[in-house]
């Protein structure tokens, strides 16, 4: 299964990438590229391109921002302007309280994760990885 990583207003990028790559290797994930976005517009362009080419796109970061560029705010705008509903989206929370999101539409998944290696490792549990593998048609 091919996937892209999109870092958005993120820190600790190499540590986060290592944890993500290790977790997704358990379900035969194959990283195709790593992208960096610094604005909501750039993020939107990169996500569209990634989803056009890969069944899984992973956004890391942007969830702790307090401005309008906060990833949760950006994702809620996307949901309100699309045919997606909250039924397509699920909040995932680490024991630290940091949150991420999984958004599924047909055979594609957009995964939004906090930019914390420990949280990424915890959130990408065996059950979530199994869910991703089952929902994405290879």
Q: What is the mean pLDDT of each run of 10 residues along the chain (138 residues)?
A: 94 94 96 93 88 92 82 76 68 92 88 95 95 82
Quick one: three-class SS letters along the chain?
A: CEEEEEEECCCCHHHHHHHHHHHHHCCCCEEEEEEEECCHHHHHHHHHHHHHHCCEEEEECCCCCCCCCCHHHHHHHHHHCCCCCHHHEEEEECCCCCEEEEEEECCEEEEEECCCHHHHHHHCCHHHHHHHHHHCCC
Instruction: Please state the domain extents for the chain.
Output: 2-135
Residue 37 is predicted with a pLDDT of 92
Q: Does domain 2-135 have CATH number 3.40.640.10?
A: no
Residue 81 is predicted with a pLDDT of 63
pTM above 0.85, yes or no: yes
């Amino acid at each position: 299964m091919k996937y892209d990583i999109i870092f958005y207003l993120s820190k600790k990028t190499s540590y986060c990438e290592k944890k993500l790559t290790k977790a997704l290797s358990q379900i035969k994930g194959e990283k195709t590229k790593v992208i960096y976005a610094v604005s909501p517009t750039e993020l939107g362009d990169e996500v569209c391109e990634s989803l056009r080419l890969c069944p899984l796109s992973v956004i890391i970061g942007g969830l702790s921002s307090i401005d309008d560029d906060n990833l949760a705010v950006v994702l809620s705008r996307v949901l309100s302007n699309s045919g997606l509903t909250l039924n397509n989206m699920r909040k995932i929370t680490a024991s630290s309280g940091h949150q991420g999101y999984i958004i599924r539409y047909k055979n594609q998944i957009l995964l939004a994760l906090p930019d914390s290696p420990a949280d990424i490792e915890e959130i990408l549990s065996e059950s979530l990885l199994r869910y991703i593998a089952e929902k994405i048609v290879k």
